[in-house]
Structure 1
Amino acid sequence: MDKGPARLETDKPLQDDIEHCIVYVLGTAFHSNGLGRSELHLSFGLPSVDEVRDSARILGQSFTKVLAQTN
């Protein structure tokens, strides 16, 4: 489970990421008490190292964009 800054809600960039064929499970799915809003769960099938690297870059850009909007 990866955790971001508390002000980051992982559901915000989800649509942008889906358009790039990147999907993750929201952290709230792993908590029964409403926690996990700034967490996400990543799972990889059989991507190449370059595909994982590209996906991580795209996720980083998505979350950076959302964080910039919250400041």
Structure 2
Amino acid sequence: FYPVKKVIQAYPGDELLVVYDKDFKYGHNFYLIGTEEGKENYLNAPELPEEQEEYKEYIPEDIYVYKP
């Protein structure tokens, strides 16, 4: 978690949301949601009708790519 150490330390809440992406849908096997608003949006996402589900696309605002 070193690449996102500052995000973790600056997080105002008690619990971070770390999500396992088993299908590598977003290019990594885990991703971290680093804001309370983002966490609430993820956990309480509105249900999409099945025909819209296939068009749902993730557009990241800020992606950090760790390069050792």
| Same fold at TM > 0.5 | no
Instruction: Choose 1 or 2 for highest CA Rg.
Output: 2
When normalised by structure 1's length, the TM-score is 0.30
